[in-house]
Amino acid sequence: MTIKVGDRMPKGQFMVMGENGPEPLSTDDLFSGKKVVLFSVPGAFTPTCSAKHLPGFVDNADQLKARGVDTIACMAVNDVFVMSAWGKSGNVGDKVVMLADGNGEYAKALGLEMDASKFGMGTRGQRFSVIVNDGVVEQVNVEPPGQFGVSSAETALQQLS
């Protein structure tokens, strides 16, 4: 079942790059007591993700935080090393937390996985964004295949107005 407004985010775990290497980050640590904008991309370093999606959140991070967002997080079905390298390449600094959903387990728990095997990418997460307040979903924005718009930072800013 696909996550919807009013649902509690499922329990799970991501990997993030810490000062001493890969570290787990639980969904409790990510969402509890915080307003979070989580966006998902089909893959790090892919064209739309690198040219529009990630940069939009980096560029609008201060505005999002001014509207009460504690954490902006980017999720992809990639390993932690790829997510870390993509974050460095995209100059995210401390503006966006780069979450590795290496096996696609969290995308599946949200009901937002997709089959990208015809592109040689296997199972991935769909392009989407969610606004979460203390673990409860306030907004869900899932892109139609091959499109980019409703999951953008600009849409999140409008929804937080």
The torsion of the CA quartet 149, 154, 157, 161, rounded to 10 degrees, works out to -80
Residue 49 is a catalytic residue: yes
Output phi, psi for 153, to 5 deg. Answer: -60, -35
Q: What is the DSSP string of 16-56?
A: EEETTEEEEEEHHHHHTTSEEEEEEES-TT-HHIIIIIHHH
Q: Residue 104 in contact with residue 121, Cβ under 8 Å?
A: no
Catalytic residue among 3, 49, 131, 132: 49
DSSP 3-state assignment of 82? Answer: helix
The residues assigned a catalytic role are: 49
